[in-house]
Amino acid sequence: MRVFLSTDMEGTAGVVDWSQCRGPGQEYDYYRGQLQAEVNAAIDGAMAAGGTEFLVNDSHSTMQNLRPDELHGRASYLSGKHKPLYMMEGLDDSYDAAFFVSYHGSAGSTGSVLHHTYNPRAIAEVRLNGVVTGEAGINALVALAHGVPVVLISGDRVTIDEAQPFCPDIESVVVKDSISHNAALSVHPERARELIHDGARRALARLSDIRPPSITLPAELTVRFHSRAFAELACALRNVERREDKVVALRNDDPLQLYRTFIATVLLSRGVSE
C-alpha cells in the first residue's frame, strides 16, 4: 500500500509557541526532532498494517523541517517551496491513503493552540460549505479529487473535531489538549509516538471501511480576511466573488481547481502582508 503523509508542525506534542516551530534556535531544533519522531512513528505503524511505500510532504513554514537522513528509510521526502499543490503536493490517485501528521486548529477555532489557517497575517476564518474549517478540511479537497481517503490525523482535540465533518471515518490521534493559544496539556513525547504508531496501524487495518472525504460538490470556500485589501486582491482571480467588505467566496465543482484557487489567494495575500 502507498501512503502519502502531509506533515505540519504546530500539532506536535509539546509545541505551544512559534519559537518552537520556526527556526533558527534551540527550541526549534528540539521540536523538529520531535516532529521527525512522530512522522517516523506513523510510518512504522503503517508498515505494521501493510504499508510499503511512503511519500512525506514537509508542509510546514519553509517546508524544510525534517532531516532526510533521520527520516524512515522506506520514505521519499518532498521538501521546499513553493509547491503548486502546497501541503498536498505529490498526492495522486496511485496512493491508497493519506495521513495528516501534526496538524493544528483553524483561524476560526476557539482555544486551539497556535491556531491559524495558511496565512495568519491575512486570514481570519475559512468555511467549507458553510462549516468553519482549517487546513485539514481544505487539504481534503485534493484527496477527494484523487479519490484517496484521509485515514489519519494527529494534533490537538480541536483539530480532530474540525476535520471530522469532512473526514468522518478518520482515525484520530490526540497528543495534546489546548488550554489557550499558547498553552496545552501534552502527553509525553514517547507516548505521543506510541499513539501515532497505533493510530496509523489501525487506520490502514480498516482502510476498506474508510471513504474518501465527504464534501458536497460543487463546493464553496468562504474566506474572511483581516483587511479589505486582501479581499480586493483576491477578486482579481477567476471564480472569486466578493461577498462582504473582507469576505470572498470561491466556488467550483472541481475540488482540485477550488484548492488551486484558494492557494492562489494565499500567495496573493502573502504579497500584501509581507
- Who wins on pLDDT, 255 or 108? 255
Per DSSP bridges, beta strands 131-132 and 123-128 are antiparallel
Residue 77: band (very low, low, confident or very high) from pLDDT cuts 50, 70, 90? very high
- The answer, yes or no, to whether residue 271 has pLDDT greater than 70, is no
| Residue bearing cell 509539546 | 14
Mean pLDDT of the chain: 96
Q: Report, as an integer, the average pLDDT of 72-85.
A: 94
Per the annotation, binding residues for Zn(2+) are 8, 10, 60, 104, 135
In 3D, which of 33, 36, 44, 10 has the Cα closest to residue 198?
A: 44
Residue 274: band (very low, low, confident or very high) from pLDDT cuts 50, 70, 90? very low
Sheet holding 97-103, edge to edge: 75-78, 53-58, 2-7, 97-103, 150-156, 171-180, 183-186
Q: Report, as an integer, the average pLDDT of 232-252.
A: 96
Note whether 156 and 182 are within 8 A (CB). no
- The answer, yes or no, to whether residue 215 has pLDDT greater than 80, is yes
Q: Report, as an integer, the average pLDDT of 216-240.
A: 96
For the domain bounded by 2-104+135-209, which CATH number is listed?
Answer: 3.40.50.10780
- pLDDT confidence of residue 109: 83
Residues belonging to the active site: 116
Q: Global pTM?
A: 0.96
Please name the residues in contact with 102: beta carbons below 8 A apart, sequence gap of 6 or more.
7, 8, 9, 10, 11, 12, 35, 38, 39, 60, 154, 155
**pLDDT per residue over 10-49, tens digit each?**
999 999 999 999 988 999 999 999 999 999 999 999 999 9
Q: Would you state the cell numbers that stand for residue 18, as one nine-digit string? A: 512559534
- pLDDT confidence of residue 272: 54
Task: Give percent of the chain above pLDDT 70.
Answer: 99
Domain ranges, ordered by start, for the chain: 2-104+135-209
Q: Report, as an integer, the average pLDDT of 195-209.
A: 98
CA dihedral 19, 24, 26, 27 (to 10 degrees): 20
